[in-house]
Every structure is written in C-alpha cells, then in structure tokens.
Structure 1
Amino acid sequence: MVNGTGIYRTMGAGGKPSIAFVTDRSISFQIYERLYRDRKYLPSFDDLPWSGGEPKAEIAAEG
C-alpha cells in the first residue's frame, strides 16, 4: 500500500476510465481506476463514494 487516501470516484464517460480523487498529506490528485487499484490505495476503489451520488443505472452499465 502507498501513502494517500481515496476520497471519491468519478464515472468515466465517452470511453474514458473512471477516476479516483486522492489526498496525500498536503497534496491531492486524480488517478485512473487501474492505477488506484494497482497501487492499493485505501479504501478499495469499489468502496469509494461516487462524486455527486450514485451513478445512473444506464451509465453504470456502460462502465
């Protein structure tokens, strides 16, 4: 596991991957879902809340 904590995730659109927003001490950044999972940030990507609430069912089905 690396330093940093996942805060929320954003659903990718138009074929782009989903993104997680991470804070690490005094910095914050966005990272693609695959890298978030590979680097084993906590909480797990699946446990992060969605930005703006749960995605609509039809959007979630595309991801």
Structure 2
Amino acid sequence: MRELDALLRAFADSHAAALTNAEMAAFEAILELPDPTLHAYLLGSHEPADPAIAALLERIRAGAGS
C-alpha cells in the first residue's frame, strides 16, 4: 500500500538517525511485515507480540497524527 510506504518513509526520514540499534531492528522487522498485518497494527485492531515493535508502532502512529 502506498499510504503505508509513505508513512514509514516519513518516519524514517525524520527519526532513523536517532533510533537505537534495537529500535532499528524493530523498524526493519516492521518493514518485513505483510501490508495487511502492518495496517491492522497501525489501526490498533491487532497488537504485535513483540513489545519493541509495538512501542515503535506507537511512535509511528503518534507521528502520523501530528
């Protein structure tokens, strides 16, 4: 989905340089998610089992609302 790509690209452009190694690993894992799964996570209809991914998705969601 282009919207997901744009959202993730905007987050990466703004925040990638400041991510820790663990956060970067979580971001890379997010990039590997199937679009329907990522969409469900970003909408909050499902939560990922990995707390690092969940925390980073929360930051991405917060940034999308600003």
TM-score normalised according to structure 2 size = 0.24
Report the structure, 1 or 2, having the larger strand content.
Answer: 1
The TM-score with structure 1 as length reference comes to 0.25
Higher helix fraction: Structure 1 or Structure 2? 2
